[in-house]
Amino acid sequence: MRTIRTPAELLEAELISPERLREAEAVAERYAIAISPAIADLIDRTDPNDPIARQFVPHSAELEVTPEEREDPIGDLTHSPVEGIVHRYPDRVLLKAVHVCPVYCRFCFRREMVGPQGFGTLSPEAMDKAFAYIAEHREIWEVILTGGDPLVLSPRRLSEIMQRLAEIDHVKIVRFHTRVPVVEPDRVDAELIAALKASGKTTYLALHANHPRELTDEARSACGRLVDAGIAMLSQSVLLKGINDDPDVLARLMRAFVETRIKPYYLHHPDLAPGTSHFRLSIEEGQALVASLRGRVSGLCQPTYILDIPGGYGKAVIAPGTITNTGDGCYAISDFRGDSHAYPPEA
């Protein structure tokens, strides 16, 4: 099986009905489609609301753009001093070497930048300028390879990037953001792992997954190979209507990460990307879901619920508050059952 990239291939793979072909064609004119064999296998064709299909199979709702949506929802371009670099926070930069992904998520926050019509791959000259920027800015402690999905690059290209980072002393941490261990688990082989470690720096890999069914045996094995090789793993998920906006699904997702030796890191409130309003829930709904994780699952399984402030102002924690100042140095603090207690307790 090959990656599905066109509406005709979606039809052939029975991922859409003939009635939905025109709809898929209209979406395909605007946004990239890619469904890897591992993901196509995972989709339950008998379930019209399958949470895996909803993430990857195009839908006509993507053509409805609401007034608050924007092409660069988290303001990458506002903080891009040179092509391929986003320098939003003092001690870290994004290095966007490639704008290609092994799958295209229908809710993608960079959907205007990724895919065949997107920003492509950095030229050697642009890459030189990006590395020069990192080398000149001694405050950069961490380089985050994202894009696109950096793990679509060949091990040789990744190794070259890592060797160039190895030459920059002040960079101590290299982090990759990727979906590859889930959507193309076979790609995680000894050669790729060696490339990820080629800088000799501490390497983290943040895995993007949104539903517990994505953590298949193959995906878990791929992650196991990475962790066994000394690469620390974190998770990032997006809270999405119709996919994981359910306490039980979220709990199973976070447990699946921890069972796979992946520390839950970020749970993103969906960004205001064009044509994604059908995935968004309210912040109150998100907070209630996050509150439901407290007490239900171990502290190891608690992600940080965050919102990227539109316009490029960075991430803000939007978890529900558990403590209220009641005056005179006293507080009301709620436990995981929602019961309130005075702090300090009355004598």
Residue 105 binding ligand SF4, by CB under 6 A: yes
Task: Kindly state the smallest distance separating residue 75's Cβ from ligand SF4, in Å.
Answer: 16
Active site residue 96: no
Annotated active-site residue 108? The verdict is yes
- Quick check: helix, strand or coil at residue 71? coil
CB of 17 to ligand SF4, least distance (A): 24
Are 235 and 207 a contacting pair, CB within 8 Å? Answer: yes
Q: Which stretch binds ligand SF4 (CB under 6 A): 7-15, 38-46, 101-109, 227-235?
A: 101-109
Chosen residue from 54, 164, 179, 255 binding ligand SF4 by CB under 6 A = 179
Min dist. Cβ of residue 239 to ligand SF4 (A): 14
Q: What is the torsional sign of CA 94, 100, 105, 108?
A: positive
Q: Transcribe 235-279 into DSSP letters.
A: EEEE--TTTT-SHHHHHHHHHHHHHTTEEEEEEEPPP--TT-GGG
Residue 269 is a binding residue for ligand SF4 (CB under 6 A): no
Contact 279, 243 (CB under 8 A): yes
Q: Parallel, antiparallel, or unpaired for β 330-334 and 314-317?
A: unpaired
Catalytic residue among 20, 96, 108, 266: 108
Stretch binding ligand SF4 (CB under 6 A), from 69-77, 106-114, 158-166, 167-175: 106-114
From 81-89, 100-108, 257-265, 288-296, span contacting ligand SF4 (CB under 6 A): 100-108
Q: Between 124-136 and 155-166, two packed helices, what is the crossing angle to 10 degrees?
A: 30
* Beta strands per DSSP E along 164-261: 173-178, 202-208, 232-238
Site string for ligand SF4, 206-225 (x = CB under 6 A): --x-----------------
Q: Is 101 in the site for ligand SF4 (CB under 6 A)?
A: yes
Q: At what angle do helices 247-259 and 283-293 cross, to 10 degrees?
A: 50
Q: Does residue 104 touch ligand SF4 according to CB under 6 A? A: yes
Q: Among candidates 265, 30, 41, which has minimal Cα distance to 144? A: 265
Which one-letter amino acid corresponds to residue 124? P
Among 53, 86, 114, 222, binds ligand SF4 (CB under 6 A): 114
Verify whether residue 330 is a known catalytic residue. Answer: no
* Residues with a known catalytic role: 88-89, 92, 101, 105, 108, 110, 271, 308, 315
Residues that bind ligand SF4 (CB under 6 A): 101, 104-105, 108, 110, 114, 148-149, 179, 208
